[in-house]
Chain A
Amino acid sequence: MSGRPDLPAPPTFAAGAVRVFSLSLGEMLWSRRTVFLLLVTGAPVFLALVARIVQGSGVVPLRVNGAAVDGGAIFGMMIWIFFLRFIVPVLGVFYGTSLIADEVEDRTITYLFTRPIRRGAVLVGKYLAYVVCTTLVVLPSVVLVYFLLVPLGQVARTFTAFAADLGLLALGLAAYGALFALVGAALKRPLVSGLLFVFGWEQIALLVPGYAKRFTVAHYVQGLVPHAMPSDGVVQVLQSVLRDNPPAWACVLALAGVVAVSLWLGVRAVESREYVLDQ
Chain B
Amino acid sequence: MSIIASEHLSKWYGQVSGLNDVTVQVPAGITGLLGPNGAGKSTFMKLITGQLRPSKGHVRVLGEPIWGNPALFQRIGFCPEQDAFYDSMTGRQWVSALAGLHGFDEATAADAAARAIEAVELTEAADRKIGSYSKGMRQRIKLAQAIAHQPELLILDEPLSGMDPLMRRRTVKQIKEWGRAGTSVLVSSHILHEIESMTSNIVLINNGRIVAEGDVHHIRDLIDEHPHTVSIRTTQAHAVARELLADEGVVSVRFDPGGLVVETARPDAFYARVTDLAASGRFGPIHEITSPDDNLQAVFRYLVKA
A residues apposed to B, CB below 8 Å:
1-5, 7-11, 15-16, 19-20, 22-23, 26-27, 30-31, 106-108, 110-119, 271, 274-277, 279
Residues of chain B from 97 to 142 with CB closer than 8 A to chain A in the complex: 97-98, 100-104
> When the two chains form their complex, are residues B101 and A11 in contact, meaning their CB atoms are under 8 A apart?
yes
- CB-defined contacts of A11 to chain B, threshold 8 Å: 101-103
State which of B144-152, B194-202, B277-285 sits at the interface with chain A: B144-152
> When the two chains form their complex, are residues A2 and B182 in contact, meaning their CB atoms are under 8 A apart?
yes
> When the two chains form their complex, are residues B103 and A114 in contact, meaning their CB atoms are under 8 A apart?
no
User: CA of A200 to CA of B71 in the docked complex: distance in angstroms?
Assistant: 42
Q: DSSP majority for the B interface? A: loop
Task: Please give 16 more A-B residue pairs, beta carbons under 8 A apart, in addition to A7-B75, A108-B85.
Answer: A1-B151, A4-B150, A4-B182, A9-B103, A10-B71, A10-B102, A11-B102, A23-B100, A110-B51, A111-B98, A111-B145, A114-B49, A114-B50, A114-B80, A276-B51, A276-B52
The 0/1 profile, CB within 8 Å of A marked 1, for residues 68-108 of chain B is: 10111111101010101110110000000110111110000
Q: DSSP majority for the A interface? A: loop
Residue of B nearest to A18 (CB): B100
> When the two chains form their complex, are residues B84 and A108 in contact, meaning their CB atoms are under 8 A apart?
yes
> When the two chains form their complex, are residues B150 and A5 in contact, meaning their CB atoms are under 8 A apart?
yes
- CB-defined contacts of B88 to chain A, threshold 8 Å: 27, 30-31
User: CA of A108 to CA of B13 in the docked complex: distance in angstroms?
Assistant: 21
Name the contact of B78 in the complex, choosing from A26, A30, A108, A110 (C-beta under 8 A).
Answer: A110
> When the two chains form their complex, are residues A7 and B82 in contact, meaning their CB atoms are under 8 A apart?
no
Q: Does B53 contact A (CB under 8 A)?
A: yes
Name the contact of A8 in the complex, choosing from B13, B52, B104, B181 (C-beta under 8 A).
Answer: B104
**Size class of B's contact patch?**
35 or more
Q: List 10 A-B contacts (CB under 8 A).
A: A1-B151, A1-B178, A4-B152, A10-B71, A11-B102, A30-B88, A110-B80, A119-B70, A274-B52, A274-B53
- CB-defined contacts of A31 to chain B, threshold 8 Å: 88
> When the two chains form their complex, are residues A116 and B51 in contact, meaning their CB atoms are under 8 A apart?
no
User: CA of A16 to CA of B75 in the docked complex: distance in angstroms?
Assistant: 17
- CB-defined contacts of A26 to chain B, threshold 8 Å: 89
**Minimum distance in angstroms from A15 CB to a CB of chain B:** 7
Name the contact of B50 in the complex, choosing from A5, A23, A112, A113 (C-beta under 8 A).
Answer: A113
**Minimum distance in angstroms from B72 CB to a CB of chain A:** 7
User: CA of A23 to CA of B74 in the docked complex: distance in angstroms?
Assistant: 18
User: CA of A107 to CA of B145 in the docked complex: distance in angstroms?
Assistant: 15
User: CA of A20 to CA of B50 in the docked complex: distance in angstroms?
Assistant: 19
Q: Does B183 contact A (CB under 8 A)?
A: yes
List the 8 closest A-B pairs by CB distance, nearest first. A107-B84, A8-B103, A115-B101, A116-B74, A2-B181, A116-B73, A107-B82, A114-B78
